[in-house]
Each structure stands twice: as C-alpha cells, then as structure tokens.
C-alpha cells in the first residue's frame, strides 16, 4: 500500500511544526512549498518539494507552484472509482490524503493604514483556495484542515483509528467552504470599494463569530455575536469585557444604541438606554457631571438600564453608578479606582472599548437588516447639522442658549425610535417620547415625563409636523424653541402656531426616522 501523503502550505505557521512532525511520525509523507517547506526542513522534518511532485519549478515569484494536474488529480481522484485509479496509475500520479493550507493574509494586509493597492492585490491567494476547494469537494477521501484549532483533533483520530472519520471530514470540508467564501467576500468588498461600487448587483458580507450568546430576544431563541473582519476600535465587537456574566442579544443591542449616542458628542457625554431608546442623556465638563445629568433625566427608567460614556470612568462616576442596579457600563476605559468600586457588584458587566476616532465615527457604513427571504441595506445615519445650516422660520429668533440646546436635542432625537420627540434643557434630556404611532402622542409622553421642567425647555422632533397640534401642546407646557426638519405641506400651520405662542422654530432640512 502506498504511503499516505499530506500537502502542507501555510501562511500562518502557528502549531504547524508540531503537527507536521506528528504526521511524519505516523508514516505520512510531507509535501510542502516555499517558506513552509524551508521551516519544516530546518526543524528536521523530511519534506518532498512541490516541484518534485509536479516535475515543474515554482515560477513567477511563487505565483504558480501548486496549480498543476499532479497536485489536483491527487486531491480530486475518487479512490474507489476504477477509471480514476487506472488513470492515476497510467500517468504515474500519486494521491494526496491530507491538505493543510491557510491563505495569504489578505485581511491583515488591507487592515494596515498605509497599504497600497498593489500590495493588497499581491496578497490575494489563488493556489491556496483552489487546493482547499479541491480537497473539500473530495472529502469522502481527503482530510482538509484550514484552522490550526483542528490539528489536535485530527491527530487524535488518526492515532486512534488510523484515519479521520467521514463525519469529521464533512465538518472540516464545510469549514473550508465557509472560509474561502469569507475570503472571497472580503476581496470582493475591497475591490468594489476601490472601483467605487457602493451598491453592487450582488451584496456579499462576511462576519466572524465572537461568541455564542446566552439567548436571543427571549430565552427560547438562540443567538450569537459576530463582527466584521475589519472592525475598528471603539466598537462593541472589539470591546474587552472586564467584569460580569456573559452578554445577551438584548444587552448588545442596547449597548450599541447607547454607544451610538455618546459618539455624537466631542464633550464628555453619558447616555442611559432601555429597550434601544435613551431614557437619559447628559453632557458636562466632566464624565461625572454628564452622568449626574443623564441620571436626573429619568431616575426611574435608568434602573436596570445600560450606561455608556465617551470618557474614562473615574472613581467619582463609579461611586454614583454603583448606587443602583445597571446591566452594563461601557466606556473607553475605567480607572483602577473605578474598577475596584464597580467590580464589587457581582452582576454588572463592564466593557472597555478603547479610544475611538471621532472623525471615523462620522463616516457612514452599510447597515444590514434581515427580512423574510432577503435583507435591506442602507447607509448609517451619520449626518449632522451645524447652527449655520438651520433655517429660522418664525418671527422670534432662538437665543444663543436655546440654539445650543436645540442642537443637543437634535443629536439625540435621531437615536430615538420614531415617532420621536426629545425635550432638552441645561445640557440634558428631560423628556423622551419614543416609538409612537403619531407625533403628538410622542410629544405628550415627553411633556408628561418632563413635568414642570418643560417650562423653558426646547423640543426636537425627528420628522416634520403634519399639523399644528404638537406645537400647541408644546406651548401649553412652556416650551420656548423647537427644531424639526420641515417639509410638510402644512408647515405654515405649525409656523403660525409657533408665532402665536412666541416660540422660536428652526428647520434642519434633515429627517431622522429610526424604526
């Protein structure tokens, strides 16, 4: 019986020397290429060069070495097919029983901030995916390994049973096709970006699993957490959990909503979120001041909520946070004193995000939402407005302080489920009306929550007023200024109501629906 052979060619050489040595010790001949072959030879492991198999030199700086019938016939031949066996014998070709391959580091290459187009293209692997796919297709006879995490299990099966099981080979083959599909998707995405293709005829995305979650929206629903291959700093996908039990699906959704709010601000900001909606947001000169304002916005709803900060949490802030039950606190970092205080609470989760680039947060990315049988894709809503872009449409101009509060409220209302109304005063939210079927209903909720604080506050609406009733309600509550997109065929009705009540109203020209 001919010796079994393994073809080994890896860019990531983690664990490969020990694995190859074990295979050789089990009587498996090692075929290898380029740098992998040199490494194994230095380690004293017998290696057959790929040119000895193909009878052809590696050429074009290694671009062509395994793309040869002597390799792919050895991978694709059906061992119990008489015609295949006869062809292999007549041509003097040998079988390849194990393929251990991982690919050129395309992802790591394009992650480099100064990478050039030519370097990126040069790191597109051709021979590797071809060998992987050939071996995976013929998994009835060939064991193919693309992940170093599988080395130990493969060795154990060979030692115990003389070969891997068909069940294992099926599992490894499926993993290969997932791997090559993700590799190709990443290349396709990069080249599409370079070519300026924003919404191409095929939209292929790839994500890598971070962890299984405790459950989905409800305990009877399974869930997992995935991240994009090139996720940046300051995202939940790259956060370090410093304390607390594992996260659930709802935890992550809420934490992401809270994080998106505080990323709107350059000054210290804190947001408290429940069920994807802010229940309190504050800004200040320190993170402690910002938290106090967020807490005072709605001391009831923050209980059991999620709090995000855009500055390092210090001991003063941690002391206040520790006074109530919170699911998660996430921030760029925590001081040692803050960690000492917060880790005394068993059930709180602490997520360290690292510092993020505020400029990067203002670049849109594609958001994907599943629907039955398909998906929707849209740009993230990163549009903001400056004071100079607002259009005053009433007789009264907003004061400097009103304008400041209007812009504060406008940054928050775009993160509230539509229909959305936010009341703001003194750099904090005092009332939030979210997810209502009509706008005046959202306004009533916000006004009721604010109570007497509404007098002298400002109001932000995510979309225009289809009639004047919201303005009338605001006037009765003592609201002095309003920001809304404008654009309704009944804008004049709202403007007239504002003028009649001495309210300053500005149009942003931008709608912020959020469903």
Active site residues: 137, 275
Token representation of residue 69 = 């019938």
Q: What is the edge-to-edge ordering of all strands in the sheet holding 328-331?
A: 240-243, 349-352, 328-331, 306-309, 269-274, 277-283, 428-433, 421-425, 458-461, 481-484, 504-507, 391-392
Of 287, 348, 7, 351, give the one whose Cα is nearest residue 145.
7
Distance CA 325, CA 73 (A): 64
Of 192, 209, 210, give the one whose Cα is nearest residue 201.
192
Distance CA 134, CA 129 (A): 8
Distance CA 31, CA 49 (A): 6
Of 135, 167, 116, 4, give the one whose Cα is nearest residue 71.
135
Distance CA 232, CA 242 (A): 19
Residue 84, helix vs strand vs coil: helix
> 79 Cβ partners below 8 Å, 6+ apart?
85, 95, 141
Token representation of residue 243 = 């304390």
Task: Name the percent of the chain in helix, strand, coil, to the closest 5.
Answer: 40, 20, 40
| Neighbouring-strand partners of residue 484 | 507
Distance CA 287, CA 284 (A): 7
Q: State the burial class of residue 365 (Cβ atoms within 10 Å of its Cβ: 0-12, 13-18, 19+).
A: exposed
Question: Which single residue is written with the structure tokens 């509404």?
Answer: 454
DSSP-assigned letters across all residues of 371-398: ETTEEEEEE-------GGG-EE-SSSPP
Q: Which run of H or of E encompasses 296? A: helix 287-297
Of 427, 431, 385, 432, give the one whose Cα is nearest residue 402.
427
Q: Please say whether the beta carbons of 175 and 147 come within 8 A.
A: yes
Question: In terms of DSSP bridges, do strands 481-484 and 458-461 run parallel, antiparallel, or are they unpaired?
Answer: parallel
Token representation of residue 235 = 């995202």
CA quadruple 16, 19, 20, 26: dihedral, nearest 10: 180
Distance CA 32, CA 15 (A): 15
Max CA separation in the chain (angstroms): 98
């Amino acid at each position: 019986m001919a010796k079994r052979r393994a073809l080994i060619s890896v860019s990531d050489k983690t664990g490969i020397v020990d694995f190859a040595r074990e295979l050789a010790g089990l009587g498996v001949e090692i075929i290898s290429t380029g740098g992998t072959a040199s490494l194994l030879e230095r380690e004293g492991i017998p290696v057959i060069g790929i040119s000895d198999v193909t009878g052809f030199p590696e050429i074009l700086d290694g671009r062509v070495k395994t793309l040869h019938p002597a390799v792919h016939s050895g991978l694709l031949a059906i061992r119990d097919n008489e015609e295949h066996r006869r062809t292999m014998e007549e041509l003097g070709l040998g079988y390849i029983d194990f393929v251990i391959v991982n690919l050129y580091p395309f992802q790591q290459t394009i992650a480099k901030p100064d990478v050039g187009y030519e370097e990126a293209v040069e790191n597109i692997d051709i021979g590797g995916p071809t060998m992987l796919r050939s071996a995976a297709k013929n998994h009835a006879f060939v064991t193919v390994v693309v992940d170093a995490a599988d080395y130990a299990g493969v060795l154990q099966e060979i030692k115990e049973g003389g070969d891997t099981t068909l069940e294992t080979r099926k599992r490894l083959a499926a993993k290969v096709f997932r791997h090559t599909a993700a590799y190709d998707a990443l290349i396709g995405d990069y080249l599409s970006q370079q070519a300026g293709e924003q919404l191409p005829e095929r939209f292929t995305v790839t994500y890598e699993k971070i962890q299984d979650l405790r459950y989905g929206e409800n305990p009877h629903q399974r869930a997992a957490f995935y991240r994009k291959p090139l996720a940046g700093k300051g995202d939940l996908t790259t956060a370090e959990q410093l304390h607390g039990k594992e996260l659930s699906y709802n935890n992550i959704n809420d934490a992401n909503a809270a994080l998106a709010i505080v990323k709107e601000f350059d000054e210290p900001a804190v947001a408290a979120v429940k069920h994807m909606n802010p229940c309190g947001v504050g800004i200040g000169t320190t993170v402690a001041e910002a938290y106090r304002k967020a807490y005072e916005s709605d001391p009831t709803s923050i209980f059991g909520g999620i709090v995000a900060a855009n500055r390092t949490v210090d001991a003063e802030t941690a002391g206040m946070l520790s006074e109530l039950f919170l699911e998660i606190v996430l921030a760029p970092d925590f001081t040692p004193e803050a960690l000492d205080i917060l880790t005394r609470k068993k059930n709180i989760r602490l997520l360290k995000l690292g510092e993020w680039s505020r400029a990067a947060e203002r670049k849109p990315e594609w958001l994907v939402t599943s629907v039955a049988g398909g998906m929707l894709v849209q740009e993230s809503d990163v549009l903001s407005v400056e004071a100079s872009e607002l259009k005053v449409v009433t007789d009264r101009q907003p004061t400097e302080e009103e304008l400041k509060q209007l812009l504060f409220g406008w940054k928050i209302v775009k993160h509230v489920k539509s229909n959305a109304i936010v009341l703001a005063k003194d750099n904090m939210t005092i009332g939030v009306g979210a997810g209502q079927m009509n706008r005046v209903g959202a306004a009533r909720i916000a006004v009721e929550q604010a109570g007497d604080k509404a007098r002298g506050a400002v109001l932000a609406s995510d979309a225009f007023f289809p009639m004047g009733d919201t303005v009338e309600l605001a006037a009765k509550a003592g609201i002095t200024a309003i920001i809304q997109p404008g654009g309704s065929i009944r804008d004049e009705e709202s403007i007239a109501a504002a003028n009649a009540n001495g309210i300053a109203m500005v149009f942003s020209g931008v709608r912020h629906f959020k469903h």
